Chain A
Amino acid sequence: MLELLLQTGVNAVYAASFMALVAVGLVLIFGVMGVINFAHGELYMLGAYTVVYVYADHHLPFPLAVAAGLIFVGLLGIAMEHALFRPMRANPLGGLIVSIGMLLILQAAIVAGFGVRMEHIPPPHQSAIPLFGLAGVTIPLQRLITIGAAVVLLGGLWLFLKRSRFGWALRACAQDAEAAALQGISLNQTARMAMFIGAALAGVAGALTAPLVRTYPYMGHPVIVTAFIVIIVGGMGSLEGAIVAAILYAFVSTFVTTFWDGVIADIVGLLLMLLVLVVRPYGLFGKPERA
């Protein structure tokens, strides 16, 4: 029983790291640009398909495929910012709606290129590492790499936001775009940067987990549902909130899935979110909106 509990805990840590990568990107985009990017799950899916293309189809090294996923999806994010979100800046609901259009286009493009069937990706690492000296508790190396990458990337993002001038500019835009613009901060440049980072994080999450999950064109849907729950529970616009909520949600969801089943876990997750919204309509770490 102890082994099962520990193993479930380890699985939850993995789930939390991957959810945090997706949710933090979503929060960053929302914070700086005021746009809810509904196509975020599809950016994650594209990261996974970059691995399919580079690693599984062309047999190049796996780390190269992950780097390609980061850059490709990040650049796509910049293109989306430029072509879609910038003209919609006056109307945040408009940004959400064009991102729904983008979601449909990206899904259809992948279906056209790869077909609807599930892709087979040979696992780059077969080994599993025993933990706590117990035979029943192991973590596959691929999951451990995902956890490590999440910690490094999110840590790097935190340093970037807190320490660099550009990070300050991003946070200033998130607090008050107009005042930031008056101080000479370029809104276009910060929006581009936020979109690149947010999209690239989703792309990396997709690339790293591609060998571990079912890779098919509609894999983004459950991811975006989860990410919404996480950013609502955490409070939209709060990066710390997103990370804490990702951990909370991952543990609840993983334990309920292990001890009951997946559908119950989804229901519990959604009810958790509705409960948070009823008690604190602006999320655990959010601030009450200024009227």
Chain B
Amino acid sequence: MPSRLAWPLGLTLAGAALVALPHLLSFSQQEIAVFLLINVLLVASYRLLTLTGEWSLGHVVIMGVGGYASALFAKLAGVPVPLAMLLGAGTAAAVAYVLSFPLFRMKGFYFLIGSFAAGEVIRLLWIKFRIFGGPKGLKLIPPFPDLGPIAFFDPVNYYYLCLVVVGASLALLYRIEHSRIGLTFHAVHWRDQLAEAVGVDTRSYRTLAFVVASFFAGLSGALLAHYIGTVNPNRFDIAQMVFVLIWVIVGGTATFLGPIVGVVTLTIVNEIVLRQLGTDELRPLFYGGILIAAMLFLPGGLESLGPKLVRRFGRGRAASTPLEPRPPVKSRGYEPS
């Protein structure tokens, strides 16, 4: 098949499948499909951040900032919900911009831990101050308004809403990554000194990636808040961040589709396999095992399986993008004592 036709055709087929999907699912599965779409946006935005080489542990908290802010705009200020969602996403981006000043003085491990600490500070502020509802969080968040006969408390309709919002966001993220700016992100990651030498302000590109990624994370948080009607600090804790890491790593981060493949695959496995096993508390055992197995045996993630299979069975030429190996992080001269 000529590759010029393959993409539009594939997208059309995938779109048709996604539109038909909720009608093939049970009610609880429809709800899971809504959460899955929200998580897809979350991991896709996370990938934009990792493009510049920095791994944050605060991304889920930033998602929470979007949820809290959108809920507060709608609840206290009476802003219409669709506008509140955008304002919530904007707030997440603004918070990220402020955080970028201390955080981007750090790199590598220090950034990782610094972002974790910044996220914990925000969570503790939610717990501490009454306007955020304390440990129990915000309740009775206004739902998305009905559009004529379409009521959005129905998961099928909310699924379609999410499909539109997430689809548009993914298209934007994809365009950003493949624009000149996105290429500069790659340069900042792989050749930061060279990039600086030719006049790229690496710091401001890192900040830009962080702010844009946070905007879309905040949007996913807003989508979540107005669907379930409540947000609380535990929903955005480090355990959730660990799940995001697992999705992203199991899927792989070298391509745009990698993290999305990861979250979709693991959610399906989770719902089909683990639901049969029962016991929620043993689920981390499975996730921990999968994470370790992926790191040891499939360092390129699920995305690396595609090209491998294509090569093995020789159907057409190998996929377009060769996977760039991840160079080891440079040793930083640790000296105990």
- List the interface of chain A (C-beta within 8 A of B): 27-28, 30-32, 34, 36, 84, 87-88, 90-94, 96-98, 100-105, 107-109, 111-112, 116, 158, 161-162, 170-171, 174-175, 177, 221, 225, 228-229, 232, 236-240, 263-264, 266-267, 270-271, 273-274, 277-278, 281-282, 287, 289-291
Closest to A161 in B: B337
Among A27, A96, A238, A270, point to the contact of B120 (Cβ < 8 A).
Answer: A270
In the complex with contacts A162-B337, A174-B335, A105-B288 CB distance below 8 A: yes
Chain A hits for B331, CB < 8 A: 34, 177
Do B127 and A263 have beta carbons less than 8 Å apart? Answer: yes
Chain B hits for A28, CB < 8 A: 336
Do B291 and A97 have beta carbons less than 8 Å apart? Answer: yes
Do B334 and A87 have beta carbons less than 8 Å apart? Answer: no
Among B125, B281, B329, B335, point to the contact of A287 (Cβ < 8 A).
Answer: B335
Do B335 and A161 have beta carbons less than 8 Å apart? Answer: no
Do B106 and A88 have beta carbons less than 8 Å apart? Answer: no
Do B295 and A98 have beta carbons less than 8 Å apart? Answer: yes
Please list 9 pairs of residues, one from A and one from B, whose beta carbons are closer than 8 Å in the complex, sorted by A's number.
A36-B112, A84-B296, A91-B328, A92-B109, A96-B112, A97-B245, A277-B114, A281-B110, A287-B333
Distance in angstroms from A91 CB to nearest chain B CB is: 5
Do B55 and A93 have beta carbons less than 8 Å apart? Answer: yes
C-alpha spacing A93/B113, complex, angstroms:
12
C-alpha spacing A84/B107, complex, angstroms:
24
In the complex with contacts A31-B335, A93-B329, A270-B117, A277-B106 CB distance below 8 A: yes
Chain B hits for A98, CB < 8 A: 291-292, 295-296
Do B124 and A266 have beta carbons less than 8 Å apart? Answer: yes
A contact patch SS: helix
Chain A CB within 10 Å, residue with most, of B127, B246, B249, B285:
B285
Do B284 and A100 have beta carbons less than 8 Å apart? Answer: no
Distance in angstroms from B188 CB to nearest chain A CB is: 15
Chain B hits for A278, CB < 8 A: 101-102, 105
Chain A hits for B337, CB < 8 A: 158, 161-162, 171, 238-240
Chain A hits for B245, CB < 8 A: 97, 100
Among A104, A109, A239, A273, point to the contact of B336 (Cβ < 8 A).
Answer: A239
Chain B hits for A225, CB < 8 A: 116, 120
Do B124 and A263 have beta carbons less than 8 Å apart? Answer: yes
Chain A hits for B296, CB < 8 A: 84, 87-88, 98
In the complex with contacts A91-B326, A271-B121, A101-B292 CB distance below 8 A: yes
B242 within 8 A of A: yes
Do B336 and A237 have beta carbons less than 8 Å apart? Answer: yes
Closest to A93 in B: B329
Chain B hits for A238, CB < 8 A: 335-337
Closest to B117 in A: A270
| A32-B336, A98-B292, A104-B242 known, 10 other contacts, Cβ within 8 Å | A91-B329, A96-B109, A100-B242, A101-B289, A103-B242, A105-B288, A232-B113, A267-B121, A278-B105, A287-B333
Among A109, A228, A271, point to the contact of B113 (Cβ < 8 A).
Answer: A228
B6 within 8 A of A: no
Chain B hits for A221, CB < 8 A: 238
Interface string of B115-143 (1 = CB under 8 A from A): 01110110011011000000000000000
State which residues 283-328 of B face A: CB under 8 Å: 283-285, 287-292, 295-296, 299, 326, 328
